Structure 1
Amino acid sequence: MTSSFTDLLSAALTARSELVARLHAEQTDAYRMFHGSVEGVAGLTVDRYGNLLLVQSFHEPLTAEQLTELETFYHRSFPGFDIIYNDRSQPNSRIANKLSNEQMDAAFEPREAQELGVTYRIQARHAGQDPWLFLDLRAGRRRVMQEAAGKTVLNLFAYTCGVGIAAAKAGAKQVVNVDFAESSLLVGKENSRLNHLGHTLRYVESDAFAALRQYSGLGQPRVVRGKRLPPFPKLEKQQFDLVVLDPPRYSKSIFGVVDLVNDYSALFKPALLATAEGGTLICTNNVASVDRQDWFDQLQRSAKKAGREIRDMEWITPEADFPTLDGNPPLKIALLRV
């Protein structure tokens, strides 16, 4: 007799059977298998990346009994896969749980996963906290691949450059990936190598504000209010055919504040000005409490102030492995024709 916990895991897997078949046909072996906030265990997620199952808890740790039950279920369903559990319920989402020596080897093993025929480097644990590929953005990467052929692409807050790699794989003419973290860009370069890409991709280690202000033509001074700013790369003004703006919820640096709740326009204006007339800007907002229509209204007002028009817009919805109760996913993706 199965327990209610196993029943929930099984029901989620069954609900994805048609989606998983389609994804496998598209050369995708990376997807969410359990989305606990909707499927019965708030704060628990189970993601597949190739032959890795990454289990993460964000609200409270799994009990030893729950973890054993989960491992038993997935070992039966996916024999031979490694299952790594990261308890991220501590402050700042730091991973709290220890692993056995054998599990540690598996957790730090470099792996590969595929999405839409693109290969990505994956590790269950590394120096950071987040997975190297956010699966809810698959719908966004899918659309980027449909849009990118022959175009110049600016990928902002690139992290491990998943969007940029997808764009280059789809035939983009030039892709510029901007991120402040050298370690993330190094993973992006490894992703490029795995996909036999190279000449179309550029990696800019920079605060996004400093890069955007230069690309947009607004300019980034080196001294502000008498204080010299940290070094940043000098970039020429450039407008791109396709700009992807995928910022974190909140971050603060000497160059500016990223605040998706209170001041999205601080990023949106220079990103819009760095988008060519007739180009496309894809924006994300991952704050669940932000109303989708309110956010879009904010983007329209910001565009008007910047003297640019949003000619058309389209919502891109995360795919079916990220179900919602009300049809309003926390991750909002807006494609804007400008």
Structure 2
Amino acid sequence: MEHRLRLRRQRGHHIAGQRGERREAQALRPYHVLEAPLATQPSASSMPFFSVALGPTATSRVLAGHPALAFTELAGTQGLEPGRPLRLLSPQQDVVGTGIADPENECVRLIAREELHALDARFFRARVAGALALRRRLGLVEPEAAFRLLHGDGEGLPGLSVDLYGSYALITALSRGLQIVGRSLAEALLLELPAAGIPLRGVVVRARLKSKGKTPEKAKDEVIGEEPPEKLVVREHGIPCEVHLLAGTNTGLFLDMREHRRGFARFVRGARVLNTFCYTGTLSVAAARAGAAQVTSVDLAAGTLAWAQTNFRLAGLDPADPRFAFVESDVFRYLEQEARGKQRFDVIVLDPPTVSGARASSWSQKNDYPELIRSACALLPREGGHLWVSSNTHAGPGVRRYLQQAFERLPRTASILEEGGLPPDFPTPLAAPETRYLDVCQVRVGPES
């Protein structure tokens, strides 16, 4: 495949966002389209294997199925290049697994509990084929559908993921070294999916790097195959939604929330709904389509509120309908102001970012979530209502603990109606429960005492 080289750069504005430090809205990231055949680009298949010795504890972790080993658990990791394939040796010098060096994250990603002799197209196509078979059983493979095609931690490629958006795929790699592996994975996708009857036009390979200080470090996206349009419409449970594959870290649709958006509809018929940190309004659309009497969407960024209104229109809803409101505001300020008025909501959605510098005093999920829950409860009717609460457990103890901390200081009772986490297209290793990062609770709040 021959591709011309193109570079695009455009300054983006930063906004507060769900489960991420910051988000860029409607602004293209730097990226390039590979100008040479993939065979001439650095890839996992072009790098020879090195051997790394493990101690007894690290060997046990490999055999138990952990997705990664820290460099501190290994010997001889100095100078390992990013993306280098590794043979992992037990104290008896037996090969117990195969890994990939990820020095940016100071770890080795474990891709097999056996010796692999080549990370070639056959290996990657087998991983893709196995992942695709599961998604077919789940009924996710449909025209224009959006879902996670491969969740690396639980499917033999830790540190990598593949999201399918209609005819385009987005590979996310957690380091530059894994982005090299992502090229080989992209090649496998472009071979395997069309052979399986899925028309894949192009693949974006994106490195999501660790932040250094307050500014997230960025790497250029790579586009392999056909460049996706700047705005693309996909469908979730038949509902259209606009996504931006080339604009920022997030695309506008959190695929791990798919089943929660559908389940949310059960609780909102005839209700007054407040969606805070609404981002692109996908939960607001779910509420409006389910027959909510009123839906108010609040976000600090005008760009994402406009995007949310686009999603309303795509779903056959008129954003100018008086039942719907879109409010550009800091959420804490909005809750404080509305608590002094008469407006009340039956259902309030809290899906805040992990951290954000958007508030005058910066937000931290770990430290500020209980306060957010208490502030939201002030907008529930005196006779009670519902909270829909989510968090990223990588950044704190989880929703249940935040709720306990909040209600210790509230004159109300609370009952958990439903709990959930990741959907089945996000499989995680039994040996690494910490990788199940999503925590969602539907809570019934009792009357004021």
1:177 aligns with 2:301: no
Counterpart check, 1:62 vs 2:179: yes
1:210 equivalent to 2:333? Answer yes
Per the alignment, do residues 256 and 118 of structure 1 end up closer, same or farther by CA in structure 2, a change over 3 Å counting? farther
DSSP 3-state at the match of 1:262 = helix
* 1:1-26 deviation line (CA, Å, top 9, x unaligned): 963222222211112222125x75xx
8 Å Cα contact 1:258/1:267 also seen in 2: no
Distance 1:114 1:197 in 2: 15
1:330: how far off?
A: 0.3
Letter of the structure 1 residue corresponding to residue 195 of structure 2: R
Q: Deviations over 1:124-167 (max 9, x none)?
A: 112x3211100111122112211121111100111101110111
Gaps of 5+ in 1: 218-235
For 1:230, the equivalent position in structure 2 comes to none
Relative to structure 1, the CA distance from residue 152 to residue 31 in structure 2 (aligned partners, 3 Å threshold; closer, same or farther) is same
Determine the C-alpha separation between the residues in 2 that align with 1:124 and 1:268: 32
Q: If the length of structure 1 is used for normalisation, what is the TM-score?
A: 0.83
* Separation in 2, partners of 1:93, 1:248: 18
The answer on whether the counterparts of 1:42 and 1:59 sit within 8 Å (CA) in structure 2 is: no
Show the counterpart of 1:34. 150
Cα offset, 1:66, TM superposition: 4.0
Q: AA paired with 2:220? A: A
How far 1:204 moved relative to its partner?
0.5
**Structure 1 segment 37-116 matched on structure 2, within 5 A:** 37-60=153-176, 61-63=178-180, 64-77=183-196, 78-89=198-209, 91=211, 92=216, 94-99=218-223, 103-104=226-227, 106-108=228-230, 110-116=231-237
Does the alignment pair 1:288 with 2:394? yes
Q: How does 1:316-335 map to 2 (within 5 A)?
A: 316-326=420-430, 329-335=436-442
Could you give the per-residue CA deviations for residues 263-293 of structure 1, whole angstroms, max 9, x where no partner exists?
A: 311211111222233311011111325344x
Letter in 1 for 2:179: L
* 2:258 matched residue in structure 1: 138
Q: Which is worse superposed, 90-99 or 39-48?
A: 90-99
Q: Is residue 168–residue 200 contact of structure 2 (8 Å, CA) maintained in 1? A: no
Aligned to 2:57: none
CA distance in 1 between partners of 2:184 and 2:258 (Å): 33
Which piece of structure 1 moves more, 205-214 or 316-325? 316-325
CA contact (8 A) 1:154 1:177 kept: yes
Does the 8 A contact of 1:114 with 1:120 survive in 2? yes
- After superposition, the C-alpha distances for 1:211-238 in whole angstroms (9 at most, x for unaligned) are 1112233xxxxxxxxxxxxxxxxxx442
Question: Aligned partner of 1:114: which letter?
Answer: R
Query: How many residues align structurally?
Result: 311
Say whether 1:118 aligns with 2:239: yes
Q: Residue 315 of structure 1 aligns to a residue in which SS?
A: strand
| Corresponding residue to 1:247 among 348, 352, 359 | 352
Q: Mean alpha-carbon deviation: is it higher for 84-93 or for 245-254?
A: 84-93
Q: Which residue of 1 aligns with 2:138?
A: 19
Matches of 1:246 and 1:122, distance apart in 2: 19
TM (normalized to structure 2)? Answer: 0.64
The question of whether the paired residues in 1 share the 8 Å contact of 2:179 and 2:206 is answered with no
4+ residue segments displaced more than 4 Å: none
Partner of 2:411: 307
Structure 1 residue 107, shift from structure 2 partner:
4.2
Moved more, 30-39 or 62-71: 62-71
How do 1:264-283 residues align onto structure 2 when only pairs under 5 Å count?
Answer: 264-276=369-381, 277-283=383-389
**8 Å Cα contact 1:111-1:121 kept in structure 2:** yes
Partner-residue secondary structure (3-state), 2:209:
coil
After superposition, the Cα gap between the structure-2 partners of 1:107 and 1:167, relative to the gap in structure 1 and judged at 3 Å, is same
Extract unaligned runs of 5+ from structure 2.
1-119
CA 1:28–1:325: 2 relative to 1, 3 Å: farther
Supply the AA of the counterpart residue of 2:409: K
Q: Pick closer, same or farther for the CA change 1:65–1:299 going to 2, 3 Å.
A: closer
Q: Distance in 1 between matches of 2:303 and 2:335?
A: 21
User: Match for residue 282 of structure 2?
Assistant: 162
Change (3 A) 1:70 1:196: closer
Task: Tell me the percent identity.
Answer: 30
